Amino acid sequence: MRAQPVASHFIDGRHVEDVAGATIEVVYPGTGEVIAVLHEATPPVVEMALASAVRAQRDWAALRPVERGRILNRAAALIRARGEELALLETFDTGKPIQETRVADWPSGADALEYFAGLAPTVTGETIPLGRDMVYTVRAPLGVCVGIGAWNYPSQIACWKSAPALALGNAMVFKPSEVTPLGALKLAEILVEAGLPPGLFNVVQGRGAVGAALVTDARVAKVSLTGSVPTGQKVYAAAAAGMRHVTMELGGKSPLIVFDDASLEDAVGAAMLANFYSSGQVCSNGTRVFVQRGLKERFLARLKARAERIVLGDPLQDETQMGPLVSAAQFDKVTGYIARARAEGARLVTGGGRGLGNAGWFVEPTVFADVTDGMEIAREEVFGPVMAVLDFATEDEAVARANATGFGLAAGVFTADLTRAHRVIGQIEAGTCWINAYNLTPVESPFGGTKLSGVGRENGHAAVEHYTQVKSIYLGLGPVEAPY
Ligand code: NAD
């Protein structure tokens, strides 16, 4: 087995195995080969993870934030020093091309560790003068947080959740997606090597039922999920029963609006990044590309030319720009959407077929034009390399149609007229927006969605609010005036 970890779980500073749990086969999407076999967490394993997190969190919260930050910075340095080894593991786990995993996945996780290591010591409260008396506030940790990951950015998701949680004095029990369970185990090892006390970052493997067991446990103060809307609805409801804090990073069907006056090359390049990076398996993708009529045919011609140059292939080769989809199930889902888009009358501009023979789950970069708002391809999240181009005439029309969706994760606008850019973005119902750029998600910037796409924000100062709670302390400085 090319990527067999020491054990399935990592709890209280050590590897833990319980072969009584159902098996999870880890498949390398490049070839379909099984590269590791893991076991789902049994109830005793879940119990061990939660109990050790509760034990560890109290002492951790009592440390100075700079001391916590020092450990996270050391972990970030280890990640950067092992960049190549970690990129390879991420490629095995996800099938994403090594040229992406070298620059995007673990490096952005290291950014998060560094950012929150530096930010945590700056988190302070208020003093509120009340004449003689006063109130002061502190931002207290929440306690034990549960992180549940999706399969598209497994290591980045593990880092984006654990970095603010740990920096701000919480413990985290993390359940990766059963499709990509390897990266989080590596993160747990690295954190302990960097000096993180045992129990503060525990990894348990499993499918939805293991996630559900974590979400409903009375010891859990917060749940942060990255996943689909239907899962988010279930997890949010389960968390609500215990009045737990939540962050929900869910799916989208985001608009990218391109006006006639936009730079053609930039807009085409951004539309490609917004649909083909990670084989289109990115939650914030701009999958509804609204192009103003005056630019439409030139846009499509340039897009077709550039899309057909994308190097699809073996994810382990340096020159490969696009790899396979993550699994057979995802391949079937995406090719089903393509077939139905054709049947509904969308015009296939390029792609649409299976790439590279029958090994692995490759889909060609695909562009549909003449897509209308009612078509399935314009309404549902495909999560594959499939771009829908819709055309529009006026600014007001573009805004109205862009907002006519239940999702609200992301949006972009391309235009040379910056006044218009701000005006349009100001009206778009989405949590994460770009002007003349797309899908850049630096850790300094808050990330998250509105409407069905989620609640809460990851990254930036905004994340502090989601891993701490305000505690106010009234300080009486005079005699107590009682009316009886
Ligand atoms: P998914 O919803 O199928 O699974 C997400 C995670 O939830 C997995 O770990 C799964 O095991 C777990 N889970 C499933 N049922 C559960 C339950 N009842 N209780 C607790 N946990 C449960 O999503 P996926 O297919 O892994 O990922 C793709 C989806 O994630 C897409 O919709 C994508 O848009 C979304 N996504 C969102 C973001 C974001 O930041 N907004 C980022 C990446 C992916």
Over residues 109-125, the pLDDT tens digits come to: 999 999 999 999 999 99
Residue 471 clears pLDDT 80, i.e. is over it: yes
Residue 358: pLDDT over 70: no
**Is 211 close to ligand 1, i.e. is its CB under 6 Å away?**
yes
Q: Quick count: other Cβ atoms within 10 Å of Cβ 130?
A: 11
Cα→Cα distances 142→167, 169, 244, 246, 295, Å: 12, 8, 10, 11, 51
Average of pLDDT values for 291-295? 98
Ligand 1 centroid – CA 187 distance (Å): 19
Residues 84, 90: Cα–Cα separation, whole Å: 10
> Torsion over CA of 126, 457, 87 and 438, rounded to 10 degrees?
-120
Which residue carries 């049947």 as its tokens? 343
State whether the beta carbon of 234 lies less than 6 angstroms from ligand 1: yes
CA of 414 to the centre of ligand 1 (A): 30
Q: Is the CB of 90 under 6 A from ligand 1?
A: no
CA of 244 to the centre of ligand 1 (A): 19
- Give the residue ranges of DSSP H helices in 263-394: 264-276, 293-307, 328-343, 376-379
In sequence order, what DSSP letters do the residues of 163-177 get, joined into one string? HHHHHTT-EEEEE--
How far does the centroid of ligand 1 lie from the alpha carbon of residue 354, in Å? 25
Q: Whose CA is nearest to atom 4 of ligand 1?
A: 227
pLDDT cut 90: percent of the chain above it: 98
List Cβ neighbours of 458 (8 Å cut-off, separation of 6 or more): 160, 161, 164, 224, 247, 249, 446, 447, 448, 466
**CB under 8 Å to 406, separation ≥6 — which residues?**
451, 452
Q: Residue 100, SS3?
A: helix
Q: Are 369 and 349 in contact (CB under 8 A)?
A: yes
Ligand 1 atom with the shortest distance to the CA of 153: 43
Which of 155, 228, 383 for a ligand 1 pocket mutation test, highest count of atoms within 8 Å of Cβ? 228
Q: Read off the pLDDT of each residue in 71-90 and give the average, rounded to a whole number.
A: 98
CA dihedral 17, 21, 22, 24 (to 10 degrees): -30
Question: Annotated active-site positions, please?
Answer: 161, 249, 283, 458
| Site to substitute for ligand 1 among 93, 146, 148, 279, most atoms within 8 A of C-beta | 148
Closest C-alpha to ligand 1, atom 26: 150
Paired with 473 in beta bridges are 136
Place of tokens 């149609």: 401
- The crossing angle, in degrees rounded to 10, of helices 83-94 and 105-119 is 120
Ligand 1 pocket, residue 424 CB under 6 Å: no
Name the residue at shortest CA distance from atom 15 of ligand 1.
208
Query: In angstroms, what is the span from residue 272 Cα to ligand 1's centroid?
Result: 24
Percent over 70 (pLDDT), the chain? 99
Residue 270: count other Cβ atoms within 10 Å of its Cβ: 24
- The pair of three-digit structure tokens given for residue 32, joined into one six-digit string: 């379909």
The three-point CA angle 464-52-218 to 5° equals 70
Which atom in ligand 1 lies closest to the alpha carbon of residue 447? 40
DSSP at 58: H
Find out whether the beta carbon of 382 lies less than 6 Å from any atom of ligand 1. Answer: no
Model confidence at 355, pLDDT cuts 50, 70, 90, reads: confident
A 10 A CB-CB count for 309 gives 8
On whether the CB atoms of residues 153 and 326 are closer than 8 A, the answer is no
pLDDT of residue 390: 98
> What digits encode the pLDDT tens for the residues 178-221?
999 999 999 999 999 999 999 999 999 999 999 999 999 999 99
Looking at the predicted structure, is the pLDDT value of residue 405 above 70?
yes
Q: Kindly state the helix (H) or strand (E) to which residue 312 belongs, with its residue range.
A: none
pLDDT tier at 463 (50, 70, 90 boundaries)? Answer: very high
Q: What is the pTM of this model?
A: 0.97
Nearest to 458 by CA among 231, 171, 159: 159
Burial of 345 (0-12, 13-18, 19+ CB in 10 A): exposed
